[in-house]
Amino acid sequence: MLSDQINRTLAEKLIDAEVNKHEVIKLTAEYPELSIEDGYRIQDEIVAIKAEQGYQVFAMKMGFTSMAKMKQMNVDEPIYGYIFDYMAVDRGELSLSELIHPKVEAEIAFILGKDIEGPGITGAQVLAATDYVVPALEIIDSRYQNFQFTLPDVIADNTSSSRVFVGSTMRNPLELDLDLVGVTLSINGEMKDLGAGAAVLGHPANSVAMLANMLARRGRKLKAGQLILTGGITGAHQLYEGDVVSAKWDGLGSIDFTVK
């Protein structure tokens, strides 16, 4: 286990890379023994430093929620991270100059109406505790060179969180078959990807349940009002200056933005 001092130093290094928009070599190159627990401790340091700087948590997120991605990373559990208030984009433009090498992925997000505390939470309990679901486009921007990392590295890097667009259509989740909700993701008029909610652990509510159960191991819970991104339904697609991005969800509207 790394010392608190090293965790703090590594968190500062990753924040510096984010703020000054430069890549760093993955932490495991220097600390090959870095564990998943170490990764979450470094992530906690990032959350603490952001709070000291006056930023608030805007949302939580799950990543690696597709079976294909978990297989690729050789893991049997997704990962979670935090999205801060300054990461929420409220107009249809993504500023490339603020980022390193961003990618976009389409997701479904939940807004809870009640606290959820694991362990043992199920998708059905999540649906009963959810006020709304909304569409979201997550922008991931790993601070690591060429998105090269191991699982502990990406957890330490706050799961590549960088920006998010949240759509304006809010639906009660019981009005939709969320596993069947289709999504298309187009860039510059060309459809790049498509998928259905079932790509996320069979049903996006399962992702929220898993998050609650993972947090319970660390004595934490999800709170009423919390926004949670459940993981990519589509793959993540690299963005370039001038790109026009458009995503459509069946029954949940659309989100459009331009990369400036």
| Residue number, 7 or 138, with CB nearest to Mg ion | 138
Are the C-beta atoms of 141 and 163 separated by less than 8 Å? yes
110 binds, among Mg ion, ligand 0L1, none (CB under 5 to 8 A by kind): none
39 binds, among Mg ion, ligand 0L1, none (CB under 5 to 8 A by kind): none
**Range 132-191, binding ligand 0L1 (CB under 6 A):** 138, 140, 142, 147, 154, 159-160
What CA–CA distance (Å, rounded) separates 238 from 103?
Answer: 4
CB atoms within 10 A of CB 242: 10
Q: Which two tokens stand for residue 238?
A: 């690299």
Q: Is residue 157 a contact point for Mg ion (CB under 5 A)?
A: no
Among 6, 50, 63, 167, binds ligand 0L1 (CB under 6 A): 63
In a 3-state reduction of DSSP, which class is residue 44? Answer: helix
Are the C-beta atoms of 112 and 129 separated by less than 8 Å? yes
What does the DSSP 8-state code read for residue 202?
Answer: T
Would you call 220 exposed, middle or buried from its count of C-beta atoms within 10 A (0-12, 13-18, 19+)?
middle
Q: Which two tokens stand for residue 48?
A: 């603490």
236 binds, among ligand 0L1, Mg ion, none (CB under 5 to 8 A by kind): ligand 0L1
Among 231, 237, 245, 257, binds ligand 0L1 (CB under 6 A): 231
Residue with smallest beta-carbon separation from Mg ion = 138
Are the C-beta atoms of 100 and 141 separated by less than 8 Å? yes
| Residue number, 43 or 160, with CB nearest to ligand 0L1 | 160
Work out how close the CB of 236 gets to ligand 0L1 at its nearest, in angstroms, rounded to a whole number.
Answer: 6
User: Where does this chain touch ligand 0L1 (CB under 6 A) — which range of 10-18, 20-28, 61-69, 85-93?
Assistant: 61-69
What does the DSSP 8-state code read for residue 58?
Answer: E
In a 3-state reduction of DSSP, which class is residue 66? Answer: coil
Among 18, 38, 138, 193, binds Mg ion (CB under 5 A): 138
Binding site for ligand 0L1 (CB under 6 A): 61, 63-64, 138, 140, 142, 147, 154, 159-160, 231-232, 236
